[in-house]
Amino acid sequence: MENTWDVNLVITDNDMPLMNGLELTQHLRLNKTRDELAIIGLSASNNPDLIPQFLKAGANDYLNKPFNQEELYCRIHTVLDMQDASEQLYFLANRDDLTGLWNRRYFFNFADENPAPFKSIAMIDVDHFKMINEKFGHDGGDYALKSIGQMLNTAFSSALPARFGGEEFVVLCTGNVDVFNAELEAFRGQLENTMMSYQGQTIRLTTSIGVASGEQSLPHLLKTADDKLYAAKDNGRNNIVY
């Protein structure tokens, strides 16, 4: 069922060869929640038990045949509107509103749901960010953080960047550590050489980065990466400590 990943609505009759609508609904629900995939069941059967059976199997809605075409359209619009609302709530809860990156909550949920024996954590902190806020105001600081978020969003081939809070970011990698380290260095260099234009002025930024890799728990790696972040600052900032 890999081809269903781009599908957000399935309308299925219960009376089909090989697999009936109830079985199809149950099969689809193994990989997709109601919020991710809307399913509407149909049947010409007079069996009153089909409605609760379809809903219990995971259908969003059910219609008896024959039905009015307008009613079908209304049901479709209703389930898709609910799906859109659920998606918006999900992003509000898990996306950082300023940078567009995933937030701290999503980061920890993602790590719990995608455990890996070996992983790398990078803690990233913007150098002298207080001075940026003092010189350019908080709107200027927000502009800078948003720009960094955009860079982080495209900097990694297989790692997950997130905003941890304030001017601090975190990146989780479960792939090739050498590639990850090279991408971190490329990001650090890109930011160092970027001149952000803000209200006729130029903002220049650097970051200090601490990296921890291994098979330890996520809290342990986060603590180690944070310690190395402070070592990077002690080393003069604008560098990475592994």
Q: Report how far residue 87's alpha carbon sits from residue 79's, in angstroms, rounded to the nearest whole number.
A: 12
Question: What letter would DSSP give residue 204?
Answer: -
Residue among 217, 205, 23, 42 at smallest CA distance from 125: 205
Cβ partners under 8 Å of residue 79, min gap 6: 9, 38, 40, 60, 61
pLDDT for 25 equals: 96
Q: How much of the chain exceeds pLDDT 90, in percent?
A: 86
What is the total residue count of the chain? Answer: 242
Nearest to 128 by CA among 211, 203, 240: 203
Domains and CATH numbers, the chain: 2-94 (3.40.50.2300), 104-241 (3.30.70.270)
What is the rounded average pLDDT of the residues 164-185? 97
Strand ordering across the sheet containing 38-43: 9-13, 38-43, 61-64
Checking if the pLDDT of 1 tops 80, the result is no
**The two three-digit tokens of residue 121, written as one number:** 């954590």
Tokens of 105: 């909550």
Give tens-digit pLDDT for 67-114: 989 999 999 999 999 988 888 888 889 999 999 999 999 999 999 998
CA distance 59 to 20: 13
Confidence of residue 2 (pLDDT cuts 50, 70, 90): very low
Q: Would you call the peptide bond into 17 cis, given omega within 30 degrees of 0 as the criterion?
A: no
Catalytic annotation, pick one of 2, 113, 134, 167: 167
Q: What is the pTM of this model?
A: 0.74
In the residue annotation, 167 being an active-site residue is answered as yes
